[in-house]
Chains A and B, each alone.
Chain A
Amino acid sequence: MNDFSTADDALAEIERTQQRAYAGQRLPLWYLPGVVGLGTVAGIAAEVDGTAQIVLTVLGVVGLAALTALLASRTRIKFRQRTWTVRAGAWMAAWFVSALVLWGVVPLLIGLFTDSDVWQKAIAGVVTAAYTAATTRPAENRMFAHLGVVR
């Protein structure tokens, strides 16, 4: 071995480097709350009429497009599909589903206190945005722990 003490060191370095790569491209904390917020705006648009509906719909759609374009411009590594393992994918899917479930359940709970669809959606949006902001990093850490080593 010329530059590593042992073959074990070289293998360990490969594993370490790849874990650093995964950790280096994290989802911005503002992204999912932003998606939820703009999705909420579009949802509320469906509950109103006239100019307000047009404005909110345009805001929601344009905002989502801009958010996605911004995320794409920040992408510095395009991971291969094979970096994903079944467990990592399952953790990520479970996390997304949990956010969607929350987004769907909160309006039903708020509906016990108000008949206003706008309020139901608005509060659901705020709660879900806060949930995604608070859980993005723990979910990523859990997922990274299950990513495979890639050859």
Chain B
Amino acid sequence: MNLDPVIHTPARLKIVSLLATATETEFAFVRDTLDMSDSVVSKHASALEKAGYVEVRKGYVGKRPRTWFKLTRQGRQAFDEYVTTLQTIVGRPLADHPDGAPATE
């Protein structure tokens, strides 16, 4: 079974996992939540963007520049397939869903 090499590094897996929860996430939130440096986030976000998994948007909040990340459709699909592959390897769902329903809603 082949795991997507783009996603399958610890830093990128964390970034993609975080982005999967959101429609859009700010650069600083990714950095702070994952306890990474600016350069590490930038490097891996660029790699994900190059692979077509992440879209980068630059904007302003007031006068402050902000950078936002979002998973593309391709990125979500790649993450979904990655998780499915992992689940197949371990033979169990991602997590016991608190409501007793499958983790994918």
Contact = CB atoms under 8 A, between A and B. Distances in A.
Nearest to A86: B99
Contacts, number: 112
A11 B87 contact: yes
B22 A149 contact: no
A83 to B, nearest CB: 5
Interface stretch (A2-10, A37-45, A111-119): A2-10
Which bucket holds chain B's interface residue count? 35 or more
Q: 9 closest A-B pairs (Cβ-Cβ)? A: A76-B29, A7-B89, A17-B17, A76-B26, A24-B33, A14-B17, A77-B25, A7-B86, A78-B23
Interface of A: 1-4, 6-8, 10-11, 13-15, 17-18, 20-22, 24-25, 73, 76-80, 82-83, 85-88, 145-146, 148-151
Interface of B: 3, 5, 8-10, 13-14, 17-18, 20-26, 28-29, 32-34, 61-62, 76, 79-80, 83, 86-87, 89-90, 94-95, 97-99, 103-105
